[in-house]
Amino acid sequence: MLTLSLLRHAKSSWKDTSLPDHGRPLNARGTVEAPLMGKVMAEHGLDPDLVLCSTARRTRDTLDLVLPQLKTEPKVTYEDGLYHGTPAEMLALLRGVGAGAGQVLLVGHNPEIQTFALDLIGSSGPRQLKDWLEAKFPTAGLVVIRFPAGAWSDVAVNSGRLELFLSPRDMERS
């Protein structure tokens, strides 16, 4: 069983309008929510062997705040192709993950990460979670998908099962 966690970057700042989109940092809310989601990951046993992260500043900043909360130190790879890469490009990247990485975390952007998640799960998983995911993938939102495949190269559209979908607001309510 393979586990893919998809994390959308935390809330970013639009304060400095001179910055290119790729260079936008997190805002105050984002710096609070990112480590919270790292704690949630650790509580759910989501300790990735490998992290694939967009090169945009807000995704790197998010990951920097998530990693200290995890129980393991995963290998981290920064991928230019995850900066607004298509779901097909994300799937190709995921299929290239080698043996030994049973849990992968992908940190990216919307709307691409939402579409990618929906493509992977098809109609599987709890209906309520899928409905929420179809409606919105909020900043710092976390989706967990499990695959019965033995290798990442076997992962395909509609081959995963939605196991978990959480946002920082869900944590505030609990």
pLDDT at 172: 57
Query: Do 155 and 149 meet the contact criterion of CB atoms below 8 Å apart?
Result: yes
| CATH code 3.40.50.1240 for 2-173 | yes
H or E stretch at 144 = strand 142-147
Q: What is the pTM of this model?
A: 0.94
For residue 7, name the pLDDT band (cuts at 50, 70, 90). Answer: very high
Which residues, in sequence order, are CB contacts of 97 under 8 Å at separation 6+? 50, 52, 104, 152
C-alpha 111/C-alpha 28 separation (Å) is 22
**What is the domain partition of the chain in residue ranges?**
2-173
pLDDT tens digit string along 22-41?
988 999 999 999 999 999 99
163 and 46 Cβ atoms separated by less than 8 Å: no
